[in-house]
Amino acid sequence: MAKQFMFDALRQAIDEEMQNDSRVFVLGEDIGHYGGSYKVTKDLHAKYGDLRILDTPIAENSFTGMAIGAAMTGLRPIVEGMNMSFLLLAFNQIANNAGMLRYTSGGNFTIPLVIRGPGGVGRQLGAEHSQRLEAYFQAIPGLKIVACSTPYNAKGLLKSAIRDNNPVILFEHVLLYNLQENLPEDEYLVRLDRAEIVRKGHDVTVITYSRMRYHVIQAVETLVQEGYDPEIIDLISLKPLDIATILGSVKKTHKVVIVEECMKTGGIGAELIAQINDHGFDQLDAPIVRLSSQDIPTPYNGNLEKATVIHPYQIINAVQKICGFKI
């Protein structure tokens, strides 16, 4: 076991897959000589050269389209978005090409493409650099979407995504790159379609993902001291949702609190509520509680920025309310 930062874990995943498969290459802005805006590709250019660690112009639509074409012809590209918000400029390519071509070609083409990079609400990065894009891409048929939350699952998910024959979007939170964790020295993979039960409990199911995992864990530490026994689920897979794991928990706890950084309107939490109601409504003893970010552009001002996202005290209050106050 060796302790690694999350950005190191992601770099190790890319390095290992590039060594194992000559078809794997990376492209994006400043990923080569500079090593990436968050150093995920640091030193890989010296090892693999210009054609496999490919610096691109500031032209997201163009280089994403080039990656899709490369995937169609047998390569396995990894697109790094310097900030995932910039990939809105490539939305047409992602939706109308990456997501559809396997279907519209009658299965003649596969699109083994990974799109990854930093996103989420950082610390005073401004509205355009603080977007939560998971709900934007969730509606696109043909995509798989995962959100890493630890160095361990970041490495395992990226390796699995690179090997998958479908387009996969991997969301990395800008504030989690410096997390550290002991990683196995032996190779491992993490499934793209499974949630993680972070903590087992019986009182309430708290569903979350990405950075909010840590706000939930912090809240649960207080709740346990007060006598509550919450179960924590980290979704990891945002599309498809691991509804089997979620329903298994709901059948045990009969109460659900969803904690997300995504916007409330049309967000991941909205889809979760719909699916739980569709498949497990009779198991619920109370309406599902949804804690989401405000439906506004993220302010630059630090205090206003904090006010737009969910904090541990709000999670504590929600669990106390849905479970009843402990005496």
Domains annotated on the chain, with CATH: 2-183 (3.40.50.970), 196-323 (3.40.50.920)
* Residues belonging to the active site: 60, 129
- Is the separation of the CB atoms in 154 and 9 below 8 Å? yes
Q: What is the pLDDT of residues 18-42, one digit of tens each?
A: 999 999 999 999 999 999 999 999 9
pLDDT tier, 122 (very low <50, low <70, confident <90, very high otherwise): confident
- How far is 240 from 192, CA to CA, in rounded Å? 9
The structure's pTM equals: 0.95
- How far is 112 from 78, CA to CA, in rounded Å? 9
- How far is 78 from 167, CA to CA, in rounded Å? 10
Task: Report which of 6, 14, 9 is spatially closest to residue 31, judged by C-alpha positions.
Answer: 14
- If residue 144 lies in a helix (H) or strand (E), which one and from where to where? strand 144-147
125 bridge partner residues: none
Query: In sequence order, which ranges of the chain are alpha helices (DSSP H)?
Result: 6-20, 44-48, 60-72, 91-92, 101-104, 134-138, 151-163, 212-225, 243-253, 268-280, 302-308, 312-323
pLDDT tier, 327 (very low <50, low <70, confident <90, very high otherwise): low
Mean pLDDT of the chain: 95
Distance of alpha carbon 16 from the chain centroid:
21
Strands 114-119 and 168-173, how do they pair?
parallel
Q: What is the pLDDT of residues 174-231, one digit of tens each?
A: 999 999 999 999 999 999 999 999 999 999 999 999 999 999 999 999 999 999 999 9
Residue 2's pLDDT is what? 77
The one-letter code for the residue type at 65 is G
Q: Is 199 helix (H, G, I), strand (E, B) or coil?
A: strand
Residue 132's pLDDT is what? 87
Query: In sequence order, which ranges of 258-301 are alpha helices (DSSP H)?
Result: 268-280
Residue 154's pLDDT is what? 98
